[in-house]
Structure 1
C-alpha cells in the first residue's frame, strides 16, 4: 500500500551525489540533508556537510518541516575496530503541515529504492522536540551486507536536546 503513496521522484544529480557519499574514503562525520521541491515534485539536495557534529546536525534541521538525512559517522567498537556506518534518517516533526508529511512519507520508499538500500529497518521514536525519527537503513560504508544499528545514544544526542 505504501508503494502507491510515492509522489516524488529523486533528482538524478542527488542520486549521483549519494552514490559518491556512500563509498567515500574520508573518516570524518558527514551528512547530506535532502528536501522535496514541491513545485518540481522532486527530492533534491538541500545541504552537504563535512566534519559535522551530532549537535550541529540537529541544529541544521528545520523545526517544522520534514527532511531526509544521510549521516556517516565514526563508530568505535569494543574490540578496537573503527567503522563508518551510513545511516538514512527520516525526520518528520509532528507539527508540520499534513500535506508535507504525506508528501515525504509517500516519497520515502521511492528514495530508499532509488538509492538501492536493500536492508531497511524502521523505528519510530517520539522525542520532546515533537520529532518523529525513523531509522530506515544502516550500513557500513565498506561492508554493504552487514547491518549495524545506530546506537541509541547517537539518536538521543541528535534529537533529544
Structure 2
C-alpha cells in the first residue's frame, strides 16, 4: 500500500487521450484516481466531478487520470456517453496491485476481489504528496483540487 511521502511505483501508463505517463517522474503534478467500474452511479458521479473541475486542475498544474480495470473500449464508451474531460487508463492489474487498491470486498456475505476507490496526488518528482483511501464521492474532487492548488 502506497502512502503519503512514498515514491510512486516505476510504472508507465497509457491514457485514452494518447498520452503516456511515467509515474516515477510524471513531469508535473498528477492526480491518479482509482474507481471500481465504468458507467456505474458512484463512478460516473466521480468522473463528472473531476471533469467539472478539469480547467481548475490544469490551472493548478495537475493532470487528472482515472484508473479502473475496464477495457479501453469500455472507457471510450464511458467518456463519450458522459462527455468526460479527464482521460482514463486501463489497469491490467499491475497498477492497482502496486498501489494496493485491488482488495478483498464483501457484498451480501460473498467475498470477491475488486477496486477500492482511492486517489493519489503525485508530485513532479514522483513523490506521493497526498493519499486518500476508501474515498466517498461527494465533495471528493473539490478536496483533491484544494490539495493540488496548495502543493
State the structure with more CA Rg: 1
TM-score, normalization by structure 2: 0.28
Q: Which has the higher contact order (CA 8 A, sep 6+)?
A: 2
